[in-house]
Structure formats: structure tokens, C-alpha cells
A and B are shown apart, each in its own frame.
Chain A
Amino acid sequence: MTRKLKILVSISQIVYSEYSLEPQMGRACKKKNLLVKRFNLADRCALEEALKIKKEINNVEISAALLGPPEMEWILRACLGFGVDKAIHFIINPAEYYDAHNIALALSQYISDQGFDLIFCSYQDVNSNFQVGPAGSILAELLQYPYLSEVASLKIDPDNESLTVKRKLTKGNRLKVNTPLPAVLSASTVLNEPRYISLHRQKKPAETTITRIAVNKEELQGRYYPAQLTELVAVSPFRPRPKQIPLAGGSLTVQERLDFIIFGGSTVKEKSRLLEGNVKELSNELLNYMIQENFL
């Protein structure tokens, strides 16, 4: 009989800002800003993969850990409904700023006590809330475990002692890597198609008890000074960085020139180049363009 495989899926809650439109009597709809908290997609993929492993291999125990405020506990209830064996809620104060290092510290103690073999700890993307960070690699560093990010496919070796993954790199490239367990992984969103979480699942009371652990920032700071290694200095609406164009072109209008000075670059797209003519000439022009722009 193979040994028991203990899997932990660490889940982060993601905060989106969205609008809701409120109908008004006799007037246009009123736009209201909402902060919506969701189950991070990469974590849903990690959970799906853990459930897949449980189905394929005997003797697997899955735990789900959530770092978030009390109102996010529905995520753990949904996980339990899907077949997760244990749920742990690390309760944080939503008003406080936690960086990736804080989060990894909070998780590392629990993980080393419980002795997990496989830990999924997601990577953040542009949709992440600032509370989430690259906690997976920091966790691996604290625990001295191997870490593989952007996992696009995964196979546990028959002895339950190691696993082989394909990592998703840039430009569609993949890297196949074998690593001994225990290991920390971060799932990529191409790993699988996660299951849908129905409203019924979200509302259903949990049959298994959820372990609650309060995370205290002061205590973390006292135990591992410095526990927090980044400072949040400002939050504002998103303003993309203007493209750098060295000089305001003479073709710009007064308004565009003003924008140029204020935003430090051109805010309008350069005019399209239009080509007409016979097909041979057009082909050569097109080829020239692609060579100039380094596409070929």
C-alpha cells in the first residue's frame, strides 16, 4: 500500500471592483461602485487538480486553507461540498494590509506542523488584490521545499514520493520537471477547467467543522521581525503608463499637445498607414514592414 498523500490547497480571495446599475424613477440608472470578493481562478484550478488526484489515487487527504475575512468562509463550505476533507480558515482583518511575506509566514507554521506533501499556493495576476502576493515561492523558501510555478499539467509518480509537472513558460513554451515531494506548486489557469460553484453550494452549511485560526499581525511581527517587507503607499484608479514618444510631433493638435505635456507621452494612436496598389508591390511593402518591425 502506498503512503498517504496529504495535499493542501491554499486559497486566496480576490477583490474586484465592479459597477452595479441601480434603476432610478424617471432618470438614468445610477452607477454604484462595488467591491466583489471572489474565489481566485488559479486556486479553483488547484482545487480541481487536487480532487482529480484524489479520484485517481487511493489514500489522499485534501485540506483547503483560506486566508481572508470571516465573510469569505463560503469558499471553504464550497470546497467541503466538493469533497475536501479538512478546511482551515486563517482569519485576517480585511482593513489591514498583508503582504506575501506575512501570508507565507502565517501558513508556514501550520504546514510544517501538519507535514503536507503537496502544497498548492497560487500566484497572483493582474486581478489580484494587494493582499495576495507571490506567497508560494516565499513559502517554499521558508520551508526549504522545491517550488514549481505556473503548473500546466501534473502527474504524481506511482510511489507517491515525487511528481512530474509541465510548467507554462512564455511564448507557449513548456518545461517538464520532476521533483521530489514535499513540494510547493502554483497552478496556472490552463491546468484544467474548474467546476462551477453554484449558489446552493455557497449557501449550504458545512457538515465538517472548519478550523479557525486568527492571524495577528503584531504577533507575526514580534515572532519574525521584520514580518512585513513591503509598504502600501497609495491606491488610485488605474492609469496606464503613457507610451514614451520622445517629442510632441508637429502634426498634433493643441489639445493633443497639451495632453502630451500633461501625461508625458502621446495619448493618441499614430495615424494608420494606408497602402494601395498592385499586389506584388503591396506584398513587398508588407514584407518590408514586417522586417522593419522585427516580426520575421
Chain B
Amino acid sequence: MHKEIWVFAEACNNSIERVSLELLGEVRRLSKNGAPTAAVLIGAGISPSLRQTLSQYGAQKIYIVDHEKLLYYQSEIYTHILTQLVRQKKPQIILLGATPNGNDMASRVAARLRVGFVSNCTDLKLNDEGRLVLWKAIRGGKSQAAFMTVGSPQIATVCPDVIGLEKVVPLQTVPVEHLDISWDKNMEKAEVIEFFKGNPATIDITEAEIIVAGGRGVGGVEKWPLIEGLADVIGGAVAGSRMAKDLGCISRDRLVGQTGKNVRPKLYMALGISGASHHVNGLKEAEKVVVINKDRHAPFIKKADLAVIADLQELLPVFKETVTEYFTGGHFSK
């Protein structure tokens, strides 16, 4: 019987971090030799929908530790819980997302168990002996190095968005094991005071998942509220091209491109931007790019996943209204 491969399912605000779901897909591929895939979920008031999501993405078993004190990540307590679980269940591999909390916990658990750990991996393969070969970028991303860990379990964190999501499997009931793990009061050294939800309108564009970027084609400062209004309804951060900056529509820290910032959102909407290489260089890592431009020969059109040929002044007010209607539950014809 093969030992389990675990994915630590990081939950925040009642949703699972996307990278954890990517990892479940990866484990499905890795465990072709028959090792069962289990997800570990730690939190407070864990809803059944999270369990469903995990099973749809490939978890064959779910371990849950649910306690009111576990609403937010606390290094010592979470480390203690995961270490106890590992000692009880003895998995062969544990994968976590390379998020601030994922990296933090993985390295601490590995240190406590005196086993190796590799962070921020960009690729992973299982060799014939069942050992993971873990690749990560080094030297400013120009080279990569492969590592193997010492001891068992093998622990690694994997960067978000390098694997991609697998197709979901049909909903099925998977065994769920609730575990009761207690901890010492003096482990609660750090105390969480408050959680601040990131406001897309104010967060740094490098952290934004959706970016609405405008260029000269928007029509200057007077027309800029069109961009801000759209960003507001779809929950995106506002950014822009050099021309938008020069026209005074955005500040320097919202400029995308070679002299601005490199962004990696899930959706980048480029509105009235021609697609000069200086600009496009800053969004190489964007997952999907939607371009709206009135010129069908603009260079950006070829680089887009979806290109819409339209005049912004006409399209944006209607599109904003359509999205607002969709959110308020109004009629929407597919």
C-alpha cells in the first residue's frame, strides 16, 4: 500500500487558494503509481463547499482540523497541527502553495521534523525511487536548479500559476476525517489582531488579480472615470500605459511596462492601449489578456486572448451597465 501524497489546502476568506487546487491536479499526475491523494484543511468553521471543491479537483481524502482559534494563520499553532498530523498519518510527500503562509509553515514543519524542504519550485518530477526532483528558478530567473530533499516526508512549496488548473472531476463523496489536535496555551505567542481585506482600488498593481489598464485611447483625464468605474464594478485595480501616465490619468506606481511595474494578474484588460513592446513587456506573466481597441491592426490585438474591436466611449458605459445588471440579478440574455 502506497503512502499518501498530501496537499495543504490553504483557505482564506472561505475560499481555497488557487495554487492548492493546481497542486491537487499535479498530485493526480504524480500519483499514477497508485498513491492516494489527500488534502489537509485547517481553519475555523470550514464550510462543506470547500470540501466539495477539493474533491472536484482531485482530493481522494480530506483531513480537517476545525477550531475557532484557527481562523487566521498562526505560525506556531499551524506548524504544531501539521507536524502532529504527519507523525500520525506518515504521508510520503507534502506539497503546499508558495504563498507567504505556505512557505512559512512548510519550512517550519520541515525543520521540526528534521527533513529537507525546497521552496518556490517551478516544476517537480517523481523519479523511479519515488523521490521528488524539485526545480526552482535561481540567479534572477535566468537559471534553474534541481534539488532533492533528505528524509521523509518530502516537503516542497510550488509557485502559483506555474502548473495551471486541471479540469474538474465530477462531484463525488470522498472520505472526510475530522481530527482533534490540541495545543499548549503557551504556543499562542503571536496574537492576530485584525485581518484587512485587500481593496482592489488601492492595492499595489503587482498584487492585483484583475487589472483594468487604460491608455491614450481612453481620451485623457476627463474620460478616465470610465476606466475607474469599470474597475470598480469588476473588482479590478486601475493601471495604465506611459501615455496615460503622461496625460496625468495615473500615478507612476500604476504604470505597467519596462519603466513601470511587471504585473501578473489573472486578467489584464487593456483599453485603448496600442501594445508597444515597452508596455507589453510588463505583462508577460498575465494569464488572460482582453484588449479593447478601435483599430483592428493595433499590435496588442495579436497578443490578446480576446480582442474586441470597438470605440471605448461607446462600449464601456454599456459594458459597465451589463456587468452591474448581472451582479444585481437583473435579466441577462446569454
Contact = CB atoms under 8 A, between A and B. Distances in A.
Tell whether A pairs with B: yes
Interface of A: 14-18, 35, 99-101, 104, 123-130, 133-134, 137-138, 140-142, 146-150, 164, 166-180, 183, 190, 226, 228-241, 243-244, 269-270, 272-276, 279-280, 282-291, 293, 295-296
Nearest to B195: A175
Contacts of A279: 310, 314-315, 318-319
A233 B144 CA distance: 11
Given A142-B111, A286-B308, A287-B332, A18 B143 contact: no
A230 B208 contact: no
A176 B196 contact: yes
Nearest to B202: A172
A12 B82 CA distance: 29
Contact of A178 (B112, B118, B137, B193): B193
Given A174-B198, A231-B147, A273 B139 contact: no
A283 B112 CA distance: 54
A233 B125 CA distance: 13
B295 interface: no
Contacts, number: 271
Contact of B120 (A125, A167, A273, A286): A125
B73 interface: yes
B234 A270 contact: no
Nearest to A189: B206
B306 interface: yes
A238 B122 CA distance: 10
A177 B72 CA distance: 10
Given A146-B189, A172-B208, A178-B191, A234 B145 contact: yes
Given A229-B114, A230-B148, A172 B198 contact: yes
Nearest to B300: A272
B276 interface: no
Contacts of A288: 334
B308 A275 contact: yes
Smallest CB-CB A-B distances: 9 pairs:
A172-B198, A172-B203, A229-B116, A134-B107, A16-B140, A141-B111, A179-B190, A150-B100, A234-B146
Interface in B294-319: 296, 301-310, 314-315, 318-319
Contacts of B99: 169-170
B75 A284 contact: no
A123 B326 CA distance: 42
Contacts of B207: 170-172
18 contacts: A15-B138, A17-B139, A134-B117, A146-B190, A147-B104, A148-B190, A173-B12, A176-B196, A177-B192, A226-B151, A229-B114, A230-B147, A233-B147, A234-B146, A275-B309, A283-B318, A285-B308, A287-B323
A293 B322 contact: no
Contacts of B138: 15, 128-130, 235
Given A16-B142, A237-B142, A230 B305 contact: no
A175 B143 contact: no
Contacts of A283: 315, 318-319, 321-322
Contacts of A125: 120
B56 interface: no
Contacts of B204: 172, 190
Contacts of B79: 141
B144 A235 contact: yes
B150 A228 contact: yes
Contacts of A235: 138, 143-146
Contact of A146 (B76, B117, B199, B267): B76
A283 B323 CA distance: 8
Contact of A243 (B108, B114, B164, B321): B164
Given A272-B303, A272-B307, A295-B210, A127 B198 contact: no
A140 B108 contact: yes
Interface string B172-213: 000000000000000001111111111110111001111000
Contacts of B194: 175-176
A214 B73 CA distance: 37
Nearest to B148: A231
A180 B190 CA distance: 7
Interface string B23-34: 000000000000
Nearest to A150: B100
A253 B329 CA distance: 45
B193 to A, nearest CB: 4
B117 A229 contact: yes
B163 A241 contact: yes
B149 interface: yes
Nearest to B301: A272
A196 B117 CA distance: 34
B81 interface: no
Given A231-B148, A283-B322, A134 B143 contact: no
A17 to B, nearest CB: 4
Contacts of A282: 308, 310, 315, 319
